[in-house]
Amino acid sequence: MHDSGLSQLDRGLSYGDGFFTTMLVENGIIQLWSYHQQRLLTAQQQLGFPVLQLDKIKAKLEQTLQDKALAVAKITVTRGLGGRGYSLPEHVSPSVFTSISEFPSHYLDWRQQGIRLGIAKLRLASGNITAHLKTLNRLEQVLLKQEADTQQVDDLVCCDIFDHVVEGVASNLFWVKDNCIYTSDLKGAGVAGTQRAFLLDTVSQSPYQLKTGQFAIEQLYQADELFVSNALLQFAPVKQFAEYSYSQFPVCRWFQEVVKHAS
């Protein structure tokens, strides 16, 4: 395993053969590290990568985070150098890249004031065996982000080819009806986010019920509340969805308070 500049022969560049996780840093500490660690471990195992020394990667990254009050850290892993063609090299030596960047300041406004949510025309492919992993193949999300910008909204409700609600462009999506939280089970498409995993682990301590499954977008029109999550945004309410407006976000606010005390 080596940490280096990107070679033209790196399989991450040639084939998107790799995975990553993006993490929130507060006061020099990576938030919800155990969830990011599990994400990396799951991808490593399911993609057949050699064992990664995740504790050492984290320790090296943390050396540069000590003076960061609020920042973004990212770990990217590729399968390393390989020859031409899809076949794996005889000896795989993963490349590990770490980076630190500024926290998107508008996310603080989104957490408090909410986001505008549109509906994507582009449909997510369903049945991809790596869909739930955070792999380096993100072209669907690139195109969806372009569509969100064209619609002049902050995010989009993305459905699969069967018109089941899946997620946002770069977030997981939740909606509430009669104190029950609904979200996609992600069986056909969609990324299993770290913040989503935190919610699934925490909801049993909340006053709310949870139901996962495959849902039609019409159910969102009846929702009392909608909110989204990702590692940097944590939880943010939806203030406008299509022609519907919302001003009260009790469920989202509950999870916002809980995640403040998690690490």
**pLDDT, tens digit, for every residue of 226-243?**
999 999 999 999 999 999
User: Tell me: the pLDDT tens digits for 33-80?
Assistant: 999 999 999 999 999 999 999 999 999 999 999 889 999 999 999 999
Our answer to whether residue 257 is catalytic in this structure is no
User: Tell me: the pLDDT tens digits for 174-194?
Assistant: 999 999 999 999 998 999 999
**Distance, CA of 125 to CA of 161 (rounded, Å):** 6
Residues in a beta bridge with 234: 230
| Choice among 58, 68, 134, 239 that is catalytic | 134
Write down the pTM of the prediction.
0.93
Phi, psi at 209, each rounded to 5° = -90, 165
- Residues 10-22 have a mean pLDDT of 94
**Distance, CA of 232 to CA of 76 (rounded, Å):** 16
**Distance, CA of 139 to CA of 206 (rounded, Å):** 36
Q: Where in the chain is the domain with CATH 3.20.10.10?
A: 108-260
Our answer to whether residue 243 is catalytic in this structure is no
Percent pLDDT > 70 in the chain is 98
Q: Where in the chain is the domain with CATH 3.30.470.10?
A: 11-103
**Distance, CA of 155 to CA of 168 (rounded, Å):** 6
Identify whether the C-beta of residue 177 lies closer than 8 Å to the C-beta of residue 11. Answer: no
CA distances from 94 to 68, 78, 134 (A): 28, 6, 16
| Choice among 167, 183, 194, 225 that is catalytic | 167
Tokens 């770490």 locate to 98
User: Tell me: the pLDDT tens digits for 94-107?
Assistant: 999 999 999 999 99
β-sheet with 18-26: strand ranges across: 29-30, 18-26, 70-78, 95-102
User: Tell me: the pLDDT tens digits for 206-233?
Assistant: 999 999 999 999 999 999 999 999 999 9
**Distance, CA of 130 to CA of 137 (rounded, Å):** 10
Displacement of CA 153 from its chain's centroid (Å): 19
CA distances from 134 to 1, 6, 59, 75, 175 (A): 20, 19, 22, 11, 23
Question: Domain 11-103, what architecture?
Answer: 2-Layer Sandwich (3.30)
Our answer to whether residue 98 is catalytic in this structure is no
Using pLDDT thresholds of 50, 70 and 90, give the confidence band for residue 5.
low
Q: Could you tell me the CATH superfamily of domain 108-260?
A: D-amino Acid Aminotransferase, subunit A, domain 2 (3.20.10.10)
